[in-house]
Amino acid sequence: MVKDLGDTMARKCQITDVGPRAGNNISHAHNKSKRRFLPNLQKKKIWVQELNKFVTVKLSTSALKTINKNGTSQLAKMIKDKKIKVN
C-alpha cells in the first residue's frame, strides 16, 4: 500500500519543497538549546490560466513572489505531471 505524502507533510511548500530547518536558541550566557525554524507558509487560491480554474496550494512567500513575477505556467506543468495534489 503506497501512501500519498502530499497532504500528510504539514509544514512544507508544495512548489519549492522548503520545510523546517534545525538550529539553536542561544541565551545571553551562550547556552544552546535546539529549536526549529519554520517556513512562512501561506494557503493561497491562485487562478491558473493554462488550466482555466482556481487552484489552492500551500506555498512559501518566496514561491508566491516567484509566481507573481514569472506566471503560473510552471505551476500548471507541475499539476499536469501530478507533482502537486490539487483540491
Q: How do residues 8-26 score in pLDDT, each as one tens digit?
A: 557 999 999 999 999 999 9
Give the pLDDT score at 1. Answer: 43
Q: How do residues 32-82 score in pLDDT, each as one tens digit?
A: 999 999 999 999 999 999 889 999 999 999 999 999 999 988 888 888 888
pTM of the model: 0.73
pLDDT at 7 over 80: no
Closest by Cα among 39, 37, 87 to 60 = 39
pLDDT at 5 over 60: no
Grid cell for residue 74: 510552471
Domain ranges within the chain, ordered by starting residue: 40-87
Contact 28, 55 (CB under 8 A): no
Give the pLDDT score at 87. Answer: 67
